[in-house]
């Protein structure tokens, strides 16, 4: 596309982003936005960045890139038990990004704004000689002081996870053609995470601690254990698997390492005091979100994965770290 037909920075903001804006963002025509969290209370904030070549490929569908960028942030809010209401967007665009790409990107945001009831509050747009770099800051509302922290797990608490674990890591293998993925189920789980917002909000009253699974089940539960000053045991056969993941593990049991250590599932892992287990199971079922008890909080430190005979398994992947 010739350079003259490209939208300039201000046209881009007016054409593609202003229609997505919250009332407090003044149509993205002023210098900053005013935040009014619905229902008052605390504002909960999180930011995640995504870099082409590190978190996604520049040739991935732009609408899916946008939706994943938004959803990984909404998952952090869900993990705090907050209800998302808005977000700010940072774009560093290399020359190869054209208007068609940006339109699809904005359409992806529009779709998820409707799905998750959030609005755009503002952002910044720059050009860059480096890779396409995206940053999103999401804002949520919580009743004052009522967020779900990583601290607070106690001896004897049950360890739960939502949904199924390991699908995203296997989905990445499927996208590389390394495993079968009938119906592209696993690839879909990798590309379009499902933030557990309603469950997270319900957990603020019942769970003792929680976080979302972005680095990998063992690594993230390890973060919770460190923050709470406890250890955890999980029973490998209780970890909930999708049918697609189960078929892969049955054919190649070594891939259990990806279930334990692969990231990007964006499910919640949380701990529940024994007397509140029945309550949380009923609440999750009324929300239509599957939750599974996979283990317990123990004295000591670290996460111990046990096989069916109670022997410890040593997972070979310990979670993704950028540095």
Site of interaction with ligand ADP (CB under 6 A) = 13, 17, 28, 30-31, 89, 91, 120, 122-125
- DSSP letters for 196-261: -HHHHHHHTTT-SEEEE-SS-HHHHHHHHHHHHT-EEEEEGGGS---HHHHHHHHH-GGGHHHHHH
CB of 67 to ligand ADP, least distance (A): 15
- Six-digit token pair at 195? 């933030």
Residue 17 binds which entry of Mg ion, ligand ADP, none, CB below 5-8 Å type-dependent:
ligand ADP
Q: Between 125 and 242, name the residue whose CB sits nearer to ligand ADP.
A: 125
> Cα–Cα distance between 95 and 93 in angstroms, integer?
7
**Among candidates 48, 43, 91, 25, which has minimal Cα distance to 322?**
48
CB of 24 to Mg ion, least distance (A): 17
- Six-digit token pair at 199? 């469950």
Of 112-141, which residues contact Mg ion (CB under 5 A)? 124
Residue 11 binds which entry of Mg ion, ligand ADP, none, CB below 5-8 Å type-dependent:
none
Q: Between 115 and 124, name the residue whose CB sits nearer to Mg ion.
A: 124
Q: Between 124 and 301, name the residue whose CB sits nearer to ligand ADP.
A: 124
Q: Between 106 and 268, name the residue whose CB sits nearer to ligand ADP.
A: 106
CB of 136 to ligand ADP, least distance (A): 9
Cβ atoms of 100 and 143 within 8 Å: the answer is no
Q: Between 123 and 263, name the residue whose CB sits nearer to Mg ion.
A: 123
**30 counts as binding Mg ion under rule CB under 5 A:** no
Q: Between 90 and 152, name the residue whose CB sits nearer to Mg ion.
A: 90
3-class DSSP state of 78: helix
Q: Between 125 and 318, name the residue whose CB sits nearer to ligand ADP.
A: 125
CB of 30 to ligand ADP, least distance (A): 6
- Six-digit token pair at 205? 């009253």
**Among candidates 245, 241, 252, which has minimal Cα distance to 182?**
245
Torsion of the alpha carbons at 192, 42, 143 and 77, rounded to the nearest 10: 10
CB of 13 to Mg ion, least distance (A): 10
Residue partners of 37: CB distance under 8 A and separation at least 6:
43, 85, 139, 140, 141
**250 counts as binding Mg ion under rule CB under 5 A:** no
Helix (H) or strand (E) holding 271: strand 268-272
Residue 262 binds which entry of ligand ADP, Mg ion, none, CB below 5-8 Å type-dependent:
none
Using CB under 5 A as the criterion, which residues of the chain lie in contact with Mg ion when the complex forms?
Answer: 124
């Amino acid at each position: 596309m010739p350079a003259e037909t490209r939208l300039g920075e201000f046209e881009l903001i007016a054409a593609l982003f202003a229609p997505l804006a919250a009332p407090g963002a003044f149509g993205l025509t002023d210098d900053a936005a005013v935040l009014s969290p619905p229902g008052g209370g605390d504002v909960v904030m999180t930011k995640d960045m995504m870099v082409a070549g590190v978190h996604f490929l520049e040739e991935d569908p732009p609408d899916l890139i946008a939706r994943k960028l938004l959803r990984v942030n909404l998952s952090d809010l869900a993990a705090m038990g907050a209800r998302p209401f808005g977000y700010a967007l940072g774009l560093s665009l290399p020359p190869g990004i054209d208007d068609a790409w940006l339109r699809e990107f904005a359409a992806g945001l529009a779709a998820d704004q409707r799905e998750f009831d959030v609005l755009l509050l503002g952002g910044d747009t720059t050009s860059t000689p480096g890779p396409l770099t995206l940053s999103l800051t999401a804002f949520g509302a919580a009743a004052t002081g009522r967020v779900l922290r990583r601290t607070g797990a106690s001896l004897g608490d049950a360890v739960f996870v939502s949904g199924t674990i390991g699908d995203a890591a296997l989905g990445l293998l499927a996208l590389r053609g390394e495993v079968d993925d009938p119906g592209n189920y696993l690839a879909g789980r990798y590309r379009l995470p499902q933030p557990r917002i309603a469950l997270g909000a319900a957990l603020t009253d019942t769970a003792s601690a929680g976080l979302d699974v972005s680095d990998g089940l063992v690594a993230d539960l390890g973060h919770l254990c460190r923050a709470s000053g406890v250890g955890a045991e999980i029973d490998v056969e209780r970890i909930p698997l999708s049918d697609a993941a189960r078929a892969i593990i049955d054919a190649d049991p070594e891939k259990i390492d990806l279930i334990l250590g692969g990231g990007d599932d964006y499910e919640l892992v949380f701990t529940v005091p024994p007397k509140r287990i029945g309550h949380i199971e009923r609440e999750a079922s009324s929300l239509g979100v599957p939750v599974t008890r996979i283990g317990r909080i123990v004295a000591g430190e670290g996460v111990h994965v046990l096989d069916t005979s109670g022997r410890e398994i040593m997972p070979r992947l310990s979670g993704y770290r950028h540095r």
